[in-house]
Amino acid sequence: MDRDKVLRKVLDHIDNSKDEIISFLRDLIRIPSVTGEERGIQEFIASKLKDWGLGYDMWFIDEAELSKHPLAEKVKLPYKDRPMLVGIVKGCGGGRSLAFNGHIDVIPPGPLSSWKFDPFGGVIDGYRIYGRGASDMKSGVAAYTMAAKLLLEADVHPLGNVYLHYVIDEEYSSNGTLAALLRGYVADGAVNAEASDMEVQPAVSGSMWFKIKVRGKTASMSRVWEGVNVIEQAYKVYDAVKKLYEIRVSEKKHPLYPDNRGVLALFIGMFNAGSYPSAIPDEAELRGRMGLLPGESIVDAISELRDFILKYSMLDPWLKYNPPEIVQEGYAGEGVEVPMDHPIVSTIVNAYTSALGVKPIVKGHEGATDMRILMKMNIPTVCFGPGTITQMHAYNEWVDLRNVVNAVKVMATMIIDWCGFLD
């Protein structure tokens, strides 16, 4: 059977399986897999894969072994009782392999009073399903799981291997994805199914946290004029950070980020000073986040931030002789991108067009994803998923169910076109 007939058969089967797709996503949302508590959802998915006749591998990360790799990150929560899982569709042979990558952990829901519906209820209202993880990123996980399952049900078998990553700990680190790759679940190409608003995203931005220490001079409350209130000085540094953001937005350009204000987000998120209401504070600590375009290194970014603040401080009579200390501390992930002319990009663009009848929007992803690890492990990757980035970590998080079904169609088509098929 030729490709178009095979594709039509698969797309029709997906249309006839909408209720099953939605039901599976709802089941995932109803399992409260907050980071550190992933075992239940992993066992549930593994049981489904077994029922459907798909292969899988479940194991526990060896922290000591993982820590030897240069891309490994600090472990915040022990990995005991937190299994990793990879679904396996064994290819018939002769085709390219493909990995779908996604995480199954979610952030805590926060106060229930902030939610319209139960955050782990999977409530459907119109075309939306609500719940923690609906967009970030159980909808993406559900989509590629069902794409593989329904493709095989339609009696279409890929020539290349297909791996379905279900990784833990992503909200804290990329160690889950790294562990899956080190176990051998690498491929000729990959789709990171993070929330992309159904856009094809060949690039993801970077992000860096930083800390700034500012000093003043304390004095008695009866000699306030002898002191230098560090809060006033720290606000000058705050202003410098704000000005650098404006300059970077004006000067930094990238074709996949036509509106660069979000990707370059640079701000102070924490401001701590003082220890007593009637004492002039002499030390402040500011912590913030700096967004990076693909191609910007962490070393260059912290140097740019440090140089700008220090030059800005030279104009101030106090800060000139008491310069702030600026260091990178905490999260540091560089942006990555796959060339626009790479086959992984053209294949998913064509798959989208074939499956949905329209061309996709091609843009960069604002924010870090595990696509960074896949690319650094030499696996060409694109970000594509049904979740919407505006709902990531939001109260009343939701995803459009129409996008979930459409993502299944695109991903199934991607398997056909990338891996080849036997029917």
Residue whose token pair is 């392999």: 97
Taking Cα atoms as reference points, which of 241, 287, 285, 286 lies closest to residue 264? 241
Contact assessment for residue 388 and residue 124, using Cβ atoms and an 8 Å cutoff: no
Catalytic position from the list 73, 136, 169, 170: 170
Distance between the two ends of the chain, CA-based, in angstroms? 7
Alpha-carbon distance 383 to 227, whole Å?
53
Alpha-carbon distance 186 to 211, whole Å?
36
Taking Cα atoms as reference points, which of 142, 146, 111, 116 lies closest to residue 131? 116
Catalytic position from the list 105, 334, 370, 397: 105
Contact assessment for residue 77 and residue 119, using Cβ atoms and an 8 Å cutoff: no
Token pair of 346, please? 């053209």
Instruction: Give the distance from CA 373 to its chain's centroid.
Output: 11
Alpha-carbon distance 28 to 106, whole Å?
11
Task: Tell me which amino acid residue 123 is.
Answer: V
Question: Which phi and psi angles does 147 have, rounded to 5°?
Answer: -60, -45
Angle between helices 18-29 and 39-51 (to 10 degrees): 150
Instruction: Give the distance from CA 62 to its chain's centroid.
Output: 23
Catalytic residue flag (residue 170): yes
**DSSP codes joined into one string, 243-305:** HHHHHHHHH---TT-SS-TTTT-EEEEEEEE-SSTTS---EEEEEEEEEE-TT--HHHHHHHH
Residue whose token pair is 């690319």: 375
Three-state DSSP at 121 gives coil
Catalytic residue flag (residue 366): no
The residues that are catalytic are 105, 170
